[in-house]
Structure 1
Amino acid sequence: MTRPIILDLTPGAQAMATLLAAVQVPDHVRVVQVLFSGEAAGVEAAMTQARDLLDRHGLEDVGVHAGCPGPLVHAGGAVKSVPQGEPGLAAQYLVQAIRACPPDGVTVCCTGPLTTLALAMVQAPDIFAHLHGVIASGGALYSPGDATPVAERNIAADPEAAATVMAAGVPLTLIPLDCTGRLNADAVWMEQLAPMGAAPASVAGHVHAQLAAARMGRGGGNGVDISLRAAAPLLALLVPGLFGGHLAHVDVECRGTFTRGMTVARRIGPPGVQPNALVLERMSIDAGRGLLRDLLLAARK
């Protein structure tokens, strides 16, 4: 069965690698929309490249849009009204794509803040019936955060949005830093991808060049490993057996001065509190990198 998927990405080489990998398995997943959230310049460049990538794979009908440019609340903590203009339009594009899928049909893979999805859920609760599930890369349960000592950056960027999605009652798979902290593009993995660069003008060649530049652009050009967490939701959808986890009730701290954005998972909640997420706490790193490598190398053909 081919499952429709929506990719909610942040601009960067890892996002393009994830999109390229996703279109290599049309018998398993069918990309129906791609969203990019982040700074305007980066989003515009990512959208242009994504459209080119999709066009070259015969997927001209797939929508590519900008996601919400900022969080659901003001910096001072006041909740915004439902946005009009660009932010509201971003959520409407997502709503339209979800509604176009059959009931219990589409999976949303989120690799960045959950703002656009949360706003879509608030604006159009009827989309819940069309969601087969949400797979989100975010949170830090037992390992230190990468935004603050206790918060992971995707959740910390918009805790209210994360809390909204987790309270929605849709099937949610959460992939925290604890699970993907070692899912990196190291020197060996990049060497295995070298054939992608044989045709620099190709889509695969462009993605390979971006990955290589991302690694060489840090640490004084010495080749610093970069995270491949952006691909984790896709990998979890394609091969769930790569991962292991447990059902839990996950809460997001939205108010604490020092703990805002912190995720807290309870395997067994208090009376009346039910699990709201499947938390993936471990994965086969080598197998995951191997699968992603093979999908990217398949793009050369």
Structure 2
Amino acid sequence: MAARKLIIDTDPGQDDAFAILMALGAREALEVLGITTCAGNIPLALTQRNARQVLELAGRPDIPVFAGCPRPMVKALETAERVHGDSGLDGCDLPQPTMPLQSEHAVAWMIRTLMAAAEGEITVCTLGPMTNLAVAMVMEPRIVPRIREVVLMGGGFFEGGNTTPAAEFNIYVDPHAAHTVFTSGVPLTMVPIDCTYQAKMTPEWLSELRGLGTQTAVQAAGMAEFYQRYGNEKFGVTDYCLHDPCVIGYLLAPHLFEGRDCHVAIELQSPKTIGMTIVDWWNVTKLAPNCRVLKKLDNSAFYELMLEKISCLP
């Protein structure tokens, strides 16, 4: 079978970096056409740099990077340096990238690429706020039926939120963008924190990763160790989760995940619950489902798969 074509929209972020690396290590199954970046975990000037650093680390400077929207559609930008460090990739030692940042705006490239492809050919993976994709949908609505599927990391239901009591970070940062995507009619799969909190990265797995000995593995282990400190302090555990790679894990091995089709709405009005993903898990409203919502994953198999894919990188 031909590799599944992807656009990865991201705001790296250590866990975003792991998702990118996992996708790059699966060349037989996934073809990354380009990476678009937005503001989210850190400002846009850093996310576009970090994406290029990760590609160069993995030996893939041939994949183009496009900078997109520097702020959410309506809200003021809120970032998460407290989690990711000032660089967004604290914990590793990567040189400044030498590959160029593309001059074309991420939204323009996304529209052009989707319009040029066959209908249903390209999957869009959003690992951060959905600003770029939402703006693209507003600018050119004809892209919506051309997208095979949008697979996003974001939202929560049973676990509530990780940024406010009600809202998960990626949706909270730009809820209006999320609303635009969730009401567009595009096929959606949501990997919420209900699922990603089960993706626990153990100290033993980190040792295995570092033990691969490759440049990519060693630098990735450093990122993970820094990122894990936040989880250790917040939750008092030694096995914090990596959220964003679950998107790639689902694309590679959907049988490792469980979920159901639900209607999902995004709260936009309440100052206390803005950004909440209202998941009708029990079909109370009788509204037609607009999203596949994942709830469970096979953690050990997921991390075995991620280690296998990262081991394919230099």
Choose the corresponding residue for 2:139, options 102, 113, 123: 123
Runs of 4+ in 1 over 4 A off after TM superposition: 216-220, 222-226
What does residue 110 of structure 1 align with?
126
- Aligned-pair identity in percent equals 30
Distance in structure 2 (CA, Å) of the matches to 1:183 and 1:236: 12
Q: Structure 2 matches for 1:70-219, cutoff 5 A? A: 70-75=71-76, 89-196=105-212, 198-199=213-214, 202-215=215-228
- Listed as ranges, the matches of 1:253-268 within 5 Å are 253-266=267-280, 267-268=282-283
> Any idea what SS the aligned residue of 1:134 has?
strand
Q: Report how many aligned residue pairs link the two structures.
A: 281
What is the CA distance between 1:226 and its match in structure 2?
A: 4.3
CA contact (8 A) 1:249 1:269 kept: no
1:63 aligns with 2:64: yes
TM-score by length of 1: 0.85
Compared CA separation, residues 100 and 281, structure 1 to 2 (3 A): same
Q: Which residue of 1 aligns with 2:22?
A: 21
Deviation of 1:184 (Å): 2.9
Q: CA, structure 1 residues 139+74, in 2 after alignment: closer, same or farther (shift >3 Å)?
A: closer
1:113/1:28 CA distance change after superposition, 3 Å? same
Cα deviation digits, residues 226-284 of structure 1 (max 9, x gap): 4311101111111110111111110111001211111111243646x311001111111
Return 5+ residue gaps in structure 2 as ranges: 77-103
**TM-score normalised per structure 2:** 0.82
Deviations along 1:26-61, one digit per CA (max 9) or x if unpaired, are 22110001122231342243033134246x24x61x
Amino acid corresponding to residue 93 of structure 1 in structure 2 = W
Cα distance per residue 1:189-215 (max 9 Å; x no partner): 10111223x24xx33433333223433
Inter-partner Cα distance in structure 2 for 1:105 and 1:183: 29
Structure 1 runs not aligned, ≥5 long: 76-87
Change (3 A) 1:243 1:219: closer
Corresponding residue for 1:84?
none
Q: Are the equivalent residues in 2 in contact too, given 1:253–1:260 (CA < 8 A)?
A: yes
- Contact kept, 8 Å, 1:249 with 1:268, in 2: the verdict is yes
Distance (Å, rounded) in 1 between the aligned partners of 2:105 and 2:210: 40
